Amino acid sequence: MVARFAERVRYIGVQHGLAGSDVEDLVQEVRLRLWKALASGEKILAAPASYIHRTAVSAALDLLRRRRARRETPARLSRPSGLAMLGESASADRMLEELELQEQVGRAVDALIPARRSVVRMYLAGYSREEIADLLGWSEPKTRNLLYRGLADLRERLTAMGIGPESLG
C-alpha cells in the first residue's frame, strides 16, 4: 500500500513539474514516519489510507519548513535560466529581444486588476482552469470568465506595448 501510494505521489509530482529529488525526499520522509509510528509492515499495511495521506501532507510541510530554516532553494529551480533555455546558438539580439519580451509580459501581468491578475498568473504558471476553480472554490463559469477577461486584458496591454500576436513565434 505504501509503495503504491509512493508511486502515486511520484506520478503527480512529475505532472506538476517537480524535480525528482523533491518528490523522493517526500516519499522517503513518509516511509520513515510510518516505520517510526507503526514499527511493523503488518501495521503499516493495516493503516487506513487516510492516515498515510495525512502523514504525507505533514511530511511535506516539515520538509518545506526545514528548507526555509536552512534558506535552501527548491530543487526545481536548478532549471536553466531564461537565457540559457534559448540555446547556445541564439544570437545576442535574439536573447535581448526575448529578455525584453519576458519583462514586458511581467509588467503587463502586474498591471492587471487583482482578481484577474491572480487567475492569469496561475494559468501562466501551468494550472488548468479546473485546478484554478478548485483552489479558489469558484464555479467553472466564473473562473472561465475571469480568466478569459484577464488574458484579453493582458493581450491588449501587450499590444499597446507594441507586442503583437506574431511576436517571437
Site track for another protein across 22-61, x = CB under 8 A: xx--x----------------------xx-xx--xx-xxx
**Torsion from C-alpha of 9, 25, 62, 130, nearest 10 degrees:** -30
> CB–CB of 98/82 below 8 Å?
yes
The SS3 call for residue 154 is helix
The nearest distance, CB 88 to another protein, in angstroms, is 16
Among 82, 94, 111, 128, binds another protein (CB under 8 A): 82
Looking from the CA of 164 toward its CB, the CA atoms found within 13 Å total 1
Among 13, 38, 153, 157, binds another protein (CB under 8 A): 13
DSSP H helical ranges for 16-139? 20-38, 41-46, 49-70, 92-110, 114-124, 129-136
Site track for another protein across 86-125, x = CB under 8 A: ------------xx-xxx-xx--x----xx-xx--xxxxx
Count the residues in the chain. Answer: 169
> CB–CB of 1/45 below 8 Å?
yes
For 137, other C-beta atoms within 10 Å of its C-beta total 7
Of 118 and 145, which CB lies nearer to another protein in the complex structure? 118
Among 18, 34, 38, 133, binds another protein (CB under 8 A): 18
- CA-based diameter of the chain, in Å? 65
Q: Which stretches of the chain bind another protein, using CB under 8 A? A: 1, 4-5, 8-9, 12-13, 16-18, 22-23, 26, 49-50, 52-53, 56-57, 59-61, 63-65, 67-68, 71, 73-77, 79-83, 85, 98-99, 101-103, 105-106, 109, 114-115, 117-118, 121-126, 135-137, 151, 154-155, 158, 163-165, 167-169
